[in-house]
Structures are given as structure tokens and as C-alpha cells.
């Protein structure tokens, strides 16, 4: 799957995806990650990409011309990309949305906004707007990385154990059940006996019940969604 990113700070994407799961997937050819700098599309000798907002106000706004030119350039070379603006005003990102993005046949183009946002007239160029939560960051680079990580790990072959996709938090609409490993006792706390029993049926029942209990306690909003089907 192809991921393309348009950003003012392409260097931010070098280290996070150099190693780990996504880095290995890139090396294996399961993921193609291409970062496109916005600055070369800036205006004038200073490659200006922002300006003061009409009507006054604090901060700067990203101009429409550089953004439109960058998007046209990338999509001209890679037609069919699903164009996503990373913005606090977008649809809140979650596991279900990650699966929807995985299904985009030509891949994703993620545009990382900066400053006070983008000129409203550029919004028509996007297929979708996505937010990773109700808080403000300095730009859309970190949210774009979150999307790449969450979608990338769903690609067949990226995870060493594909069963992990069905057992982890949110995959079944619940948080993940408690996990334990060696030793059997740690500071007076023991591993639940059912996990040592070897009875796989009872282990599955215990994990399902614990996942539902934890979800109801920590994320009642998810529990309500699950009960509605």
C-alpha cells in the first residue's frame, strides 16, 4: 500500500519509520512511504506558504496556491490517491476508520496542515478530513504518522502474528483483556489460574469476560456502542 505525505517538515518522518514494524514493512515492499516537501511549491524567492488571515486575527494561514500545486503534482504522478487533510476539524480517527482507509485501492495522500489552518478554498480538493482527537498540536505531521501506523499494521503480512489483529483493543469493539507473562508470581500477585490451566475454551471465556469488564469500567462509551450492535 502507498502512503504519501505533503508536509513543511519532511525530516520529521525520517526517524519514526526507520525501524520498527513500519520500517520493516517498507523494507519488505509491503508499504511504500513517500514524503513530499511543501516548501518548493512556495511563492516568490522566499518560497512563502503562509500569510496573514483576512479579517484579522492571530497567527498565519496556509495559502491555497502552494497546497493546491503540491497536491496536483503528487496526484498527477500517482493518480487515484485518497486525499486526506489532517485537521482538528475532521472526523475523529479510530479503528473502524483505519479499516476504511485500508480499503482505498490506490493508497493515501495525507496533507499535514500548519499554523492556524489552511485557506478554506483548498478544502474542496480533499476527499476526507481526519482528526486524531480533541486537542491541538503544532501541525498535522504527528497525526499523519498515527494514521500511517494504524492503517499500516492492518496490511496483510505486516504483523508477524495475524491473530493479533483480532485480539487487540478496539478490534472487537472492546478494550483488550489483561495480559500476563513469566514469572507466575510477582510481588505477591499471581497469574490467574485459568491462564495456567491449559483449557483453551476457559481461557477464551475468561478473556472475553475480562475485556467486557475492562471496557465497561474504562470506556463505557465503547460498551454502549457494542450493546447497540
**pTM for this predicted structure:** 0.89
- Give the pLDDT band (50/70/90) at residue 191: very high
Structural domains of the chain ordered from first start? 2-152 (3.40.1280.10), 168-228 (1.10.1270.20)
Residue pLDDT, tens place only, 129-184: 999 999 989 999 999 999 999 999 999 999 877 666 666 666 678 999 999 999 99
Contact 140, 96 (CB under 8 A): no
Amino acid at each position: 500500500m502507498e502512503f504519501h505525505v505533503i508536509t513543511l517538515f519532511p525530516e520529521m518522518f525520517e526517524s519514526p519509520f526507520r525501524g520498527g514494524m513500519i520500517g520493516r514493512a517498507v523494507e519488505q515492499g509491503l508499504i511504500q512511504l513517500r514524503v513530499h516537501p511543501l516548501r518548493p511549491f512556495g511563492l516568490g524567492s522566499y518560497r512563502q506558504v503562509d500569510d496573514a488571515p483576512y479579517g484579522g486575527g492571530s497567527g498565519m494561514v496556509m495559502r491555497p496556491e502552494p497546497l493546491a500545486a503540491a497536491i496536483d503534482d503528487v496526484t498527477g504522478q500517482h493518480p487515484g490517491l485518497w486525499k486526506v487533510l489532517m485537521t482538528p476539524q475532521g472526523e475523529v480517527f479510530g479503528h473502524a476508520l483505519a479499516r476504511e482507509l485500508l480499503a482505498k485501492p490506490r493508497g493515501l495522500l495525507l496533507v499535514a496542515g500548519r499554523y492556524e489552518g489552511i485557506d478554506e478554498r483548498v478544502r474542496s480538493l480533499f476527499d476526507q478530513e481526519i482528526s486524531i482527537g480533541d486537542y491541538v498540536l503544532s501541525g498535522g505531521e504527528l497525526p499523519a504518522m498515527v494514521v500511517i501506523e494504524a492503517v499500516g499494521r492492518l496490511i496483510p503480512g505486516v504483523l508477524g502474528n495475524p491473530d493479533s489483529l483480532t485480539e487487540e483493543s478496539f478490534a472487537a469493539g472492546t478494550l483488550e483483556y489483561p495480559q500476563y507473562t513469566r514469572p507466575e508470581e510477582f510481588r505477591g500477585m499471581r497469574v490467574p489460574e485459568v491462564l495456567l490451566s491449559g483449557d483453551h475454551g476457559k481461557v477464551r471465556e475468561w478473556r472475553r469476560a475480562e475485556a467486557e469488564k475492562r471496557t465497561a469500567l474504562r470506556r463505557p462509551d465503547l460498551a454502549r456502542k457494542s450493546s447497540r450492535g
